[in-house]
Amino acid sequence: MKEFKVTYFFDEEHYIRRFIHMESQEEAEELIQSERGRYISFTDSRGIYHELDTRNVRVIQLSEYHRVDKSKKK
């Protein structure tokens, strides 16, 4: 399973980011496309619940994310 970072931009300064786990980038793209123009909800890594109207989003970025284990760095 791969991890993908999805960033929803409202303007140049305001955005919300979420992480999803899918088998491939194609599956992640299909999920994002299926959510167009409707409300979605998710809880972020800090435990904060979000409801997002995707109609108000100007740009959506999707990229594979390679998490770094900070506990192993000195």
Contact criterion met (CB below 8 Å) for 57 and 21: no
Query: Per the structure block, which two tokens stand in for 58?
Result: 């100007």
End-to-end CA distance of the chain: 28
Measured CA to CA, the distance from residue 39 to residue 52 in angstroms comes to 5
Residue 64 identity (one-letter amino acid): E
User: What is the reported pLDDT for 70?
Assistant: 74
Q: Residue range 15-28: average pLDDT? A: 95
Contact criterion met (CB below 8 Å) for 15 and 52: no
Query: pLDDT of 36-56, one tens digit each?
Result: 999 999 998 889 999 999 998
Q: Looking at 19-23, 46-50, 66-70, which range is the least confident one?
A: 66-70
Cα pseudo-dihedral 3, 34, 62, 53, rounded to 10: -110
Residues 6 or more apart whose CB falls under 8 angstroms from that of 45 comprise 19
